[in-house]
Amino acid sequence: MSMLSLRLPKSMYGDLKDVAKAEGVSMNQFVTLAIAEKIAALNTLDYLGKIAQRGSWEKLLAALAKAPDVEPEEHDRL
């Protein structure tokens, strides 16, 4: 494991301490999980962006053209 020294404003430190306690985890564990969530979100955006670049409107419209033109069922209506 690596160590990281982090400077936080006092108010943020207090909030971190309170939230970690409420979650029943250490501040270190809370920060580690928060960083992991942020990295996962950014990686997901990158992945979806790459997938989107491979798509095309023509293929989408062709797939939609195959869908039957029927009214939605009652539970699917807005």
| pLDDT value of residue 60 | 92
DSSP string, 7-75: ---HHHHHHHHHHHHHHTS-HHHHHHHHHHHHHHHHHHHHHHHHHHHH--HHHHHHHHHTS---PPPGG
pLDDT category at 75 given cuts 50, 70, 90 is: very high
Q: Is the pTM for the entire model greater than 0.85?
A: no
Kindly report the average pLDDT of the chain as a whole number: 95
- Note whether 28 and 16 are within 8 A (CB): no
Q: What is the mean pLDDT of residues 35-58?
A: 95
Listed by start position, the domains of the chain span 10-66
36-62 average pLDDT score: 94
Q: How confident is the model at residue 10 (pLDDT cuts 50, 70, 90)?
A: very high
Mean local confidence (pLDDT), 57-61: 93
d(CA 78, CA 50) in angstroms, rounded, equals: 32
